[in-house]
Amino acid sequence: MFHLAKYFAVAIDAYAIMDNHFHLVVYYDPMECQRWDDQELVYRWTEALPPKTNGKLQDLEALKEIQRDLLLNQPERLQQIRDTLGSLSAFMKHLKQPIAWKANREDNCTGHFFEGRFYSGALLSEDAVLAAMAYVDLNPVRAKIARTIAESRDCSIRDRLQVLASTPERLKQALSSLVSGISNAQPQFQMSLPGYVEHLNELTRPRGPVLDDDLAAWFSRVASINKRQRAYGHSKELTRWITRRGWQRVGGVLL
């Protein structure tokens, strides 16, 4: 996941790997791949999906150079590669395929490993993105695999807590993506990393019957992520998003 995200037009904001599924919160820029020149494009391609070496690792870099030179003389193939590295669906495909192949080999079977393609919902505001990140980071606690976020494994909050422990200077920095293949600056979160951790801790503490307005809104936003929608955001943002697509709104869950 981290390897592919360095070269596709995505940035990983949160993830959780569970026993039988995984969650991702990603920032995706469909225009990013159009900004890469051909040299960068073929570099990203051969790094993301290196050529096969038949087990001879010492030949890998030489094969990459040969493949790049060949690709630079194939305009149609370059466009196919650009479309692939700029596609969220292709990112998910190349992330899931090796997992499916390995699992099927272990089980000595063929066919679909994952139940479906993947579900995605658009996050239209920072509140929506933070709520989705919190929902994903709290998966191990919610599943009772961990009692607290500090005990969580195989999820982004584990990585962020390690960053806080090893680099105290990050205490004052804003929350940022874990890994990104997007070269242009992406929207920055207003919330700091320690502030985000504290918000997660609030969600795992016993709650009284009455919450202040800000905390109640935070609980509501995170809980709403569990209801599958095509998009999440404030009412005006949802209205604009739906109108641009000529769709109709169903249900009343808002963030």
Q: Which pair of tokens denotes residue 170?
A: 């990050």
Residues, the chain: 255
| Predicted confidence (pLDDT) per residue in 141-169, tens digit | 989 999 999 999 999 999 999 888 777 66
Task: Return the pLDDT at 137.
Answer: 95
Q: Interior CA angle at 100 toward 54 and 133, to 5°?
A: 115
Task: Return the pLDDT at 8.
Answer: 96
Q: Which three-class secondary structure state does DSSP give residue 95?
A: helix
Q: Is the dihedral of CA 237, 241, 244, 250 positive or negative?
A: negative
Task: Return the pLDDT at 174.
Answer: 77
Q: Which pair of tokens denotes residue 93?
A: 């495909």
Task: Return the pLDDT at 253.
Answer: 47
Kindly state the DSSP code that residue 189 receives in the 8-state scheme. P
Nearest to 230 by CA among 212, 214, 245: 245
State which residues of the chain have pLDDT below 70.
55-58, 168-172, 185-187, 207-215, 218, 249-255
CA distance 10 to 181: 6
CA distance 122 to 26: 10
Task: Return the pLDDT at 73.
Answer: 94
Half-sphere exposure of 177 (CA within 13 A, CB side): 20
pTM: 0.86
236-to-32, 243, 254 alpha-carbon distances in Å: 27, 10, 10
